[in-house]
């Protein structure tokens, strides 16, 4: 029995969610609330930071501290929040557009610096909020509102990007794998440094309608069947891989986070090259 | 360099950095750009000595975002930049205004638009400071004219930011930022420091955007028992987004009132020269220093002239400028742009006093002769 219930973190009175039927975002909200409860984190020690987009509306449903800012900037706000008070659990919720398209520069640097926060990306492979235009994770040739004949650019692999940047914890799952979402979020929050949980989330209204003519259920089935564990994925032949989505934990490291390194370097001995302290 | 003691030759940017530390700043996030970089360099070295954190962000968008975030975590925060960086900060400057986040932006102006005459002085971001971010909003901007004032107005910028829960801009220029003058920094303990109003009472009853009678909501920090919801979208007293048209109307009115109701506290000017004169110069920043010399020299030539120096640029010193327009037979507005404050002076000119412009946009500071020539011309 934990001291907290998931409802301690949620404004249930703000429900029902604003999201479309079949959207994965509500599933992630519940998984996050469950994770917070199981970790027994007091709501006043948690800050949910969001940008703009469908998933960027998620802060509306949390009873924790919250920050809702402009499109693409959730991570630099979260950076200031986390460095400003290292006792906080800062959780940045971003769509793929927010996180790695308009916010791509912030994403690579927050991961590289290893800022102590948890990023949860709801990747629906398009811009849900503005009507399903393509983003930097839309797969090459996918149909979207602004790529009626197919996306001419390849999409980012968000986890691979974070890995290159040196994030401490990186995991990917799908909205179909509910318990895995919670498990990864718990691991991510417990990890000091930059943690990423990418949840591949269906957007039936926009991406689904254009790329899954058989309907929302086909999209869910796709996530269920095509999401395979990394170990299975790695055993596949290269041409087979393009059909599948690798899920699991991609990185679990303990590189020191930004503030720890900062204070190691600026310990009273070394600050100001020692000069100031001599005079003080 | 440790904290300068006694009378020392100090640069404007150095005085600014020490002022921020004395005002209690614990967090700086920025991206290097001349002519403001010395502020960042001193912060990198000195902030950790005072328990604070220097962060070099990936760009100015992130810098402005980070100081907003850290301020909501309870820290006093600031950034320093110049033209192109100031442009990048505009989006999040609006967030800071709308979310009522105390923070300070130092803009050491240089010639633009764009990369312009990189690192040469200008006073051409006056209107960008006022209206650079989108939407209808208010701003406070201060304009120092000496190294000592880089110090005092930086402290004042922090105090106004904390008092009125708003971003405050120190609109300096390359001349003052890089100028070296003999100044003695005050003993840090002797400087008046204002801290943001904090909530009391039952945390459960706290509404983060419920203003008190003075129009300003008490501010809890993330991590306090008082739960804070801050949003860049239209919000009611709960801090949660609310898209009722009436909500935004009332919010914008309160954000305006909390500045304009305190105009006497915020707006500062300096008078130089005789109280009554036929000609009044209206100037600010580096230009106003040259104007002082011009006033002195014109007096010795027998011309009656004085100077109204704008210490606070925004909100604009309407009452003082109106008074100057009424008292003088002619007004001259010298500035290092093509007429940004000039337009404000003309807006206030209901008495049809002749208003003359002196403009320099070549990246050179005015000479006394530039201004004297106009004074002599008008005095004819
Ligand atoms: C600076 C800026 N540019 C564009 C927009 C318009 N806009 C709002 S949400 C959005 C995309 C959201 O997509 P994503 O981040 O993937 O989240 P989703 O809605 O799919 O959850 C865009 C382009 C904006 N709000 N701000």
B53 φ, ψ to 5°? -120, 130
Does ligand 1 lie within 6 Å of residue A219's CB atom? no
CA proximity to B59, closest of B26, B16, B92, B27 = B92
CA distance A126 to chain B (A): 22
Residues B62, A69: C-beta atoms closer than 8 Å: no
Does ligand 1 lie within 6 Å of residue A146's CB atom? no
Residue of B nearest to A41 (CA): B223
Average pLDDT over residues A166-190: 97
Q: Residue A216: what pLDDT?
A: 80
What is the DSSP code (8-state) at residue A7? G
Tokens 């007429």 sit at which residue?
Answer: B339
The percent of residues in chain A predicted with pLDDT above 70, rounded, is 95
Does ligand 1 lie within 6 Å of residue A137's CB atom? no
The percent of residues in chain B predicted with pLDDT above 70, rounded, is 100
- Dihedral in degrees, nearest 10, Cα atoms B147, B152, B158, B160: -130
Closest partner CB to B49 (pick from A82, A83, A276)? A276
What is the DSSP code (8-state) at residue A175? T
Average pLDDT over residues B338-343: 98
pTM value? 0.97
- pLDDT tens for residues B261-303? 999 999 999 999 999 999 999 999 999 999 999 999 999 999 9
Determine which helix (DSSP H) or strand (DSSP E) holds B141, and give its type and residue range: strand B140-142
Distance CA(B334)–CA(B341), nearest Å, equals 9
Distance CA(B177)–CA(B25), nearest Å, equals 19
Distance CA(B99)–CA(A68), nearest Å, equals 10
Average pLDDT over residues B356-368: 97
Does ligand 1 lie within 6 Å of residue A57's CB atom? no
CA proximity to B257, closest of B331, B379, B166 = B166
Average pLDDT over residues B185-209: 96
Mean of per-residue pLDDT scores for chain A: 94
For ligand 1, atom 6: residue with the closest CA: A130
Closest partner CB to A81 (pick from B3, B59, B73)? B73
Angle ∠(A194,B72,B196) on CA atoms, nearest 5 = 155
Does ligand 1 lie within 6 Å of residue A127's CB atom? yes
What is the DSSP code (8-state) at residue A207? I
pLDDT exceeds 60 at position A5: yes
Q: Residue B1: what pLDDT?
A: 64
CA distance B108 to chain A (A): 23
Q: Which residues, numbered 228 to 247 in chain B, qualify as contacts with chain A under a Cβ-Cβ cut-off of 8 Å?
A: 228-233, 239-241
What is the ipTM metric for this complex? Answer: 0.97
pLDDT band at A147 (very low <50, low <70, confident <90, very high): very high
Residues A80, B66: C-beta atoms closer than 8 Å: yes
Q: Residue A273: what pLDDT?
A: 43
Give whole-number Cα distances, B175 to B10, B130, B157, B159, in Å.
13, 21, 20, 25
Q: Residue A267: what pLDDT?
A: 85
Burial group, residue A157, by CB count within 10 angstroms (0-12, 13-18, 19+): middle
pLDDT exceeds 90 at position B165: yes
Residues B69, A259: C-beta atoms closer than 8 Å: no
Q: Yes or no: say if B354 and B374 are a contact pair by the CB < 8 Å rule.
A: no
Burial A236-246 (b: 16+ CB within 10 A, else e): eeeeeeeeebb
Q: Where are the alpha helices (DSSP H) in chain B?
A: 12-23, 37-46, 60-72, 83-99, 126-131, 147-164, 174-178, 245-260, 263-266, 285-300, 318-327, 340-347, 368-379
Determine contact: A87 vs chain B, CB below 8 A.
yes
Mean of per-residue pLDDT scores for chain B: 97
- pLDDT tens for residues A36-77? 999 999 999 999 999 999 999 999 999 999 999 999 999 999
Burial group, residue A279, by CB count within 10 angstroms (0-12, 13-18, 19+): exposed
Residues A73, B233: C-beta atoms closer than 8 Å: no
pLDDT exceeds 50 at position A280: no
Q: Ligand 1 centroid to A132 CA: how many Å?
A: 10
Determine contact: A65 vs chain B, CB below 8 A.
yes
Find the helix packing angle between B318-327 and B340-347, rounded to 10°. 70
Q: Decide: helix, strand or coil at residue A115.
A: coil
What is the DSSP code (8-state) at residue A156? P
Does ligand 1 lie within 6 Å of residue A54's CB atom? yes
Give whole-number Cα distances, A22 to A25, A93, A130, in Å.
9, 19, 17
Tokens 């600010």 sit at which residue?
Answer: B284
Q: Decide: helix, strand or coil at residue A257.
A: coil
- pLDDT tens for residues A92-141? 999 999 999 999 999 999 999 999 999 999 999 999 999 999 999 999 99
pLDDT exceeds 60 at position A271: no
Q: Yes or no: say if A150 and A176 are a contact pair by the CB < 8 Å rule.
A: no
The percent of residues in chain B predicted with pLDDT above 90, rounded, is 98
Q: Ligand 1, closest atom to CA A25?
A: 21
Please compute Rg for chain A using Cα positions. Answer: 19
pLDDT exceeds 80 at position B352: yes
Distance CA(B70)–CA(A15), nearest Å, equals 30
């Amino acid at each position: 029995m934990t001291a907290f219930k998931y409802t301690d973190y949620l404004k249930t009175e703000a429900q029902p969610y604003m999201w479309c039927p079949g959207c994965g975002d509500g599933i992630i909200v519940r998984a996050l609330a469950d994770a917070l409860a199981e970790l027994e984190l007091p709501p006043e020690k948690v800050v949910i930071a969001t940008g703009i987009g469908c998933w960027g509306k998620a802060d509306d449903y949390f009873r924790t501290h919250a920050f809702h800012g402009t499109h693409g900037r959730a991570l630099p706000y979260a950076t200031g929040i986390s460095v400003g008070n290292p006792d906080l659990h800062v959780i940045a919720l971003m769509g793929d557009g927010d996180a790695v398209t308009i916010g791509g520069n912030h994403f690579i640097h927050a991961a590289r610096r290893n800022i102590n926060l948890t990023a949860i990306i709801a990747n629906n492979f398009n811009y849900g909020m503005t009507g399903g235009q393509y983003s930097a994770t839309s797969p090459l040739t996918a149909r979207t509102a602004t790529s009626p004949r197919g996306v001419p650019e390849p999409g980012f692999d968000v986890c691979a990007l974070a890995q290159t940047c040196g994030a401490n914890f990186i995991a990917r799952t799908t909205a179909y794998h509910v318990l895995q979402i919670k498990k990864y979020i718990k691991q991510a929050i417990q990890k000091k440094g930059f943690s990423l949980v990418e949840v591949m989330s269906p957007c039936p209204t926009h991406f689904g309608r254009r790329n899954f003519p058989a309907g929302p259920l086909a999209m869910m089935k796709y996530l269920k069947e095509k999401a395979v564990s990394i170990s299975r994925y790695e055993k596949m032949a290269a041409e087979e891989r393009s059909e599948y989505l690798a899920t699991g934990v991609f990185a679990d490291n303990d590189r020191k986070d930004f503030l720890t390194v900062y204070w190691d370097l600026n310990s009273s001995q070394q600050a100001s090259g020692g000069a100031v302290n001599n005079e003080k | 360099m440790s904290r300068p003691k006694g009378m020392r030759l100090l640069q404007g940017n150095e005085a600014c950095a020490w002022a921020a530390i004395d005002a209690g700043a614990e967090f700086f996030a920025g991206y290097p750009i001349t002519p403001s970089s010395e502020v960042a360099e001193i912060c990198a070295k000195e902030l950790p000595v005072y328990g604070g954190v220097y962060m070099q962000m990936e760009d100015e968008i992130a810098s402005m975002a980070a100081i907003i975030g850290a301020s909501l975590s309870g820290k006093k925060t600031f950034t320093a930049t110049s033209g192109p960086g100031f442009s990048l900060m505009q989006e999040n400057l609006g967030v800071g205004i709308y979310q009522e986040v105390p923070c300070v932006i130092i803009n050491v102006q240089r010639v633009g638009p764009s990369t312009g005459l990189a690192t040469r002085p200008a006073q051409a971001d006056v209107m960008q400071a006022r209206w650079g971010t989108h939407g209808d909003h208010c701003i406070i901007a201060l304009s120092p004219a000496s190294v000592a004032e880089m110090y005092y107005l930086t402290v004042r910028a922090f105090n106004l930011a904390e008092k009125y829960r708003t971003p405050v801009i120190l609109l300096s220029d390359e001349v003052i930022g890089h100028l070296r003058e003999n100044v003695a920094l005050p003993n840090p303990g002797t400087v008046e420091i204002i801290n943001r109003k904090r909530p009391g009472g039952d945390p459960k009853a706290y509404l983060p955007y419920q203003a008190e009678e003075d129009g300003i909501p008490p501010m809890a920090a993330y991590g306090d028992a008082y739960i804070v919801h801050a949003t860049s979208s239209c919000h009611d007293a709960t801090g949660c987004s609310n898209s009722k048209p009436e909500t935004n109307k009332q919010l914008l009115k309160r954000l305006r009132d909390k500045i304009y109701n305190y105009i006497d506290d915020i707006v500062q000017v300096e008078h130089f020269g005789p109280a009554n004169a036929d000609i009044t110069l209206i100037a600010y920043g580096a230009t106003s220093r040259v104007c002082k010399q011009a006033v002195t020299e014109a007096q010795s030539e027998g011309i009656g002239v004085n100077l109204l120096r704008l210490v606070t640029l925004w909100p604009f010193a309407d009452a003082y400028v109106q008074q100057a327009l009424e008292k003088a037979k002619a007004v001259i507005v010298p500035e290092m742009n093509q007429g940004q404050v000039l337009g404000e002076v003309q807006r206030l000119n209901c008495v049809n006093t002749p208003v003359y412009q002196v403009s320099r946009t070549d990246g050179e500071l005015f000479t006394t002769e530039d201004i004297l020539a106009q004074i002599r011309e008008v005095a004819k």
